[in-house]
Structure 1
Amino acid sequence: MRPTSPRKPTAKAAVDQAVRRALGVVAGWDLDASAAFERLVLHVRRRSDLLRPPMAGRRYDPKGCEKILSGLLSLASFHSQWLRPIDSWEPAGENLLPQFSTLARHLLAAYSVPAFLTSVWFDGSTVEARRRQGWFTHIGSGGNIRSADLPLPYTKRMAHMFLQAPDHVSVEKALRWGQVRGLGGSERLAEAVAATRLGRSFESEDFWGTVVRFLVNHPELESAQVDPIIEYLYDQRFVPRTCFDEVGGEGVERPPQPDLSMKGRTAKALWRQVAEWRRDLGVRGRPVLRWPRSGIGEFRLFEPRPGGLDGRVWTIRELLSSRALRAEGGAMRHCVAGYANLCTRRRSTIWSMAVEDHDGRRRVLTIEVDPTTRKVTQARRCCNWGPNPKDREILGLWAKNQGLSVEC
């Protein structure tokens, strides 16, 4: 007698356990919905591979069955709209998704439904998930997607192109695909737009609809430029920053350009703005941070040289953005770029001492001042070397002029 493989009972037990959990979910449903789910499970296990233990390599993968059970729960919740009895369903296809697709169409579609819509049954039972599942039943009953409860306005052309979206995309991406193609955009542009945040969200569609039209009307833009453009527009119009009033007081948080519009823009100018914004991104992918002046004055001193030769000019200026800190840190080879958050919270101010003569201008010293105590807490030359006597002389003149104490 051939010994029984230990893997199969274990896999079957895991599926049985998942089914029992699902039955626990429907226990709180009405009797008809609960009975519909039990019939679904019984027939599916008897006639198909949908609830048979799938293998990933040489191991049992429980996620496949859990996904199918989630889909069966969703189908059972629409039992009142079933068009055919479950007993007459015959599975088709070798893989799980094609088999499940034939089940969903058997129960809820009298007309052809795009393959990508099958995925809506795996989204659970949230309000938004049931809304998308309603699109499946709407099209399956012969309805036009334009008359469904869509999150964006659709034309006849868009509705036609929506039905031709690739099978592998989500329904949200398909909606964006149909919009782009319906406006006359190419398939490559439709793919590029659907791959951005616009293929996942439809918030503020009154604005994003104008962006999609702009992209369609500027075919000279490359596909690789689409996502950076959309991320730039999102950052400028919707991502809040801490703003400051005219006298340097901290104000409310608001985006840099909350009223940003696509009117009057050219593709070339927009991409130039995107490129500049990307250069301003910090090392962690954050937009450039800015802060107001501290109220401590800057410094300028002309120092003549003996013999009537040209003298030199010493300056100390405040650095007011994360971009300026990065430039200072790069030139001076130290870590002052990491002080941006301290500066935005007004726990630190950073200053750059420079000297200019007939040889040009060069950075000399990076200075930190505590704005609360008005103390100079650090002063560093290149590579974190300490200041030399001349640096201390100039630093002392500035500190005396501004009422600062030097503790470094």
Structure 2
Amino acid sequence: MKRSMIQRRQDAERERIELCNAALRRVARRARLTPDFSKAIEEAERGFSGEVVRDPQSWHPQMKTRDAARLRLAAARHLFALYPVHAMLERIWIDDTGLGADEVRLRRQWYVTAARGGSLYKAGASTWLTRKEVHAFLHPTAGLSFVEAFWEAIARSYTDDPALALRIARSKIGRTPREEIHFWREVARFFCVNPASLETIDDLCDYLAECRRGDPGYKLEGRTLPALIRRMHEWHHDIAAIERIEAMRRRVHGRAASASTANAVWAGSPLADWEWVPSSKEAKAKGERFVVRQLKQAEDLVMESRAMRHCVSTYAGKCIAGRASIWSLRRCTKERIDRLLTIEVDQQARAVQVRGLANRLAHAEERNVVERWAKARGITLR
């Protein structure tokens, strides 16, 4: 049956009213949740129930915030704080992102100790800080994080310049593992004695970390800032050389071959490395032995070039293409390893170049060792 005009108008009005009601339901303010004070007090007390200074049940805050982190901090203040504590210590109750469980526990323990008026030095800080440094840590420059305040305290024990201490605190020194504090403390002391810009400190931290990885016994004793900067630039130059060699290898072997390693490596000669131990009593007493090792990695080739002060790193293209192989003769004793000669061998197993430091010719003793190696591996000496 056909609907009348009045009915159609009534249906349209009902549809309009329903749309308006739906829009109102979407924008209507939802009821705010009640702050969960009991959860906040439980999270703050967890693990420290024996150190509270106030009854948890007596906490009746007049707070409107629903932020769980801020509620947790307020609960911690109620439970433990007899004295005001710096914001960098309180931060652990608000945000512990990226921290392991042990680190979270340590920072909260330091907060509890400081807030109760206890000795942070006796509570475990003595593992890393002196009494003077603990005092400085508890009174840091405003705006510093926990780690920055830690390193500012160390730097302030070596310098009276607050700007320099702040620079060190904000450098990459503060991002180093606390387990290696003895080495990085020496680095902080070095920069207090040899002031540098923040950019220079950060660049040198990268270089020193690499030195530390290569030699766990690496020390800064006796080194100067200009010498370190020079060596750092040499290191950057070596990295660039390694990257050029890697790019060269990709062009020869394709990108798929480079996916397996971050450093350029090539197959090299099928000849095996060689070792000879002299039979004399003097050599045995020193633990002396001679080793000839093939260099089949970009980093090794660049380091050989740097140590021997010649251009063997430019031979990488020949090595990658299989037209040559590079060998290093070294004398090893109980105390040290000395590089003696760098040897180039061509595809016909001929030693076409034998050079020592700064491209010098081989000494008589070195020639004797090379002849033994050549005879053992079927190599022709020119």
TM-score, structure 2 as length reference: 0.54
Note if 1:281 corresponds to 2:239. yes
C-alpha distance in 1 between matches for 2:233 and 2:349: 41
101-110 vs 266-275, which deviates more? 101-110
Equivalent position of 1:347 in the other structure = 267
Aligned residue type for 2:47: S
Equivalent position of 2:228 in the other structure = 270
1:70-98 superposed Cα distances (whole Å, 9 cap, x missing partner): x9524333233222234435357979566
Equivalent position of 2:50 in the other structure = 80
Note if 1:223 corresponds to 2:198. yes
The CA RMSD over aligned residues, in Å, is 4.5
1:98-144 superposed Cα distances (whole Å, 9 cap, x missing partner): 66544322211112211111222344882332122111111111123
Unaligned stretches of 5+ residues in structure 1: 17-40, 46-68, 239-254, 283-287, 289-321, 351-362, 378-397, 404-408
Equivalent position of 1:104 in the other structure = 76
C-alpha distance in 2 between matches for 1:42 and 1:152: 38
119-128 vs 271-280, which deviates more? 119-128
Aligned pair count?
259
Unaligned stretches of 5+ residues in structure 2: 1-20, 270-295, 297-313, 325-345, 352-382
C-alpha distance in 1 between matches for 2:316 and 2:216: 38
175-184 vs 120-129, which deviates more? 120-129
Give yes or no for contact 1:177–1:193 (8 Å, CA) kept in 2. Answer: yes
Equivalent position of 1:113 in the other structure = 85
Equivalent position of 1:158 in the other structure = 133
Give yes or no for contact 1:158–1:183 (8 Å, CA) kept in 2. Answer: no
Change (3 A) 1:156 1:222: same
Equivalent position of 1:235 in the other structure = 210
Counterpart pick for 1:208 among 180, 184, 187? 184
Change (3 A) 1:44 1:116: farther
Equivalent position of 1:62 in the other structure = none
Shift of 1:201: 2.3
Note if 1:176 corresponds to 2:96. no
Counterpart pick for 1:43 among 37, 40, 44? 37
| Structure number having the greater helix percentage | 2
C-alpha distance in 1 between matches for 2:172 and 2:316: 44
Q: Secondary structure at the match of 1:161?
A: helix
Q: Secondary structure at the match of 2:25?
A: coil
Note if 1:3 corresponds to 2:25. yes
Change (3 A) 1:151 1:225: farther
Shift of 1:8: 3.9
Equivalent position of 1:307 in the other structure = none
Change (3 A) 1:75 1:365: closer
Change (3 A) 1:200 1:169: farther
C-alpha distance in 2 between matches for 1:211 and 1:364: 37
Q: Within 5 Å, which residues of 2 pair with 1:251-400?
A: 255=214, 257-282=215-240, 322=242, 325=245, 329=248, 341=261, 345-348=265-268, 366-367=317-318, 399-400=347-348
C-alpha distance in 2 between matches for 1:118 and 1:337: 54
- Is the radius of gyration larger for structure 1 or structure 2? 2
Identity %: 20
Shift of 1:230: 1.5
Change (3 A) 1:277 1:367: closer
1:344-378 superposed Cα distances (whole Å, 9 cap, x missing partner): 6552579xxxxxxxxxxxx99954567xxxx669x
C-alpha distance in 1 between matches for 2:218 and 2:179: 16
C-alpha distance in 2 between matches for 1:365 and 1:325: 6
C-alpha distance in 1 between matches for 2:224 and 2:100: 44
C-alpha distance in 2 between matches for 1:166 and 1:92: 30
